Amino acid sequence: MGHCEDYIYEIFETLDKKNLRTSFFSQLEKMKWQDKHRYKPLKERYEYAFNKIVNQDNQNNYKPQH
């Protein structure tokens, strides 16, 4: 496998561990109609969607320690 395929495989592994695959594909669907994402290469679109979903999940699960 090439570098891009390895990277995308790692994205899906992480999404599956965090149970975020559905959210990831929803984000990609939203991005499909946005001009700033429409012509980006696949790897860049996946990377952007992945980072957005994981960051949202981290913020939602953040529990401040007292």
DSSP the chain: --HHHHHHHHHHHHHHHHT-HHHHHHHHHHHHT-HHHHTS-HHHHHHHHHHHHHHHHHHHT-----
Task: Kindly state the percentage of the chain with pLDDT values over 90.
Answer: 73
pTM: 0.83
The answer to whether residue 40 scores a pLDDT higher than 90 is yes
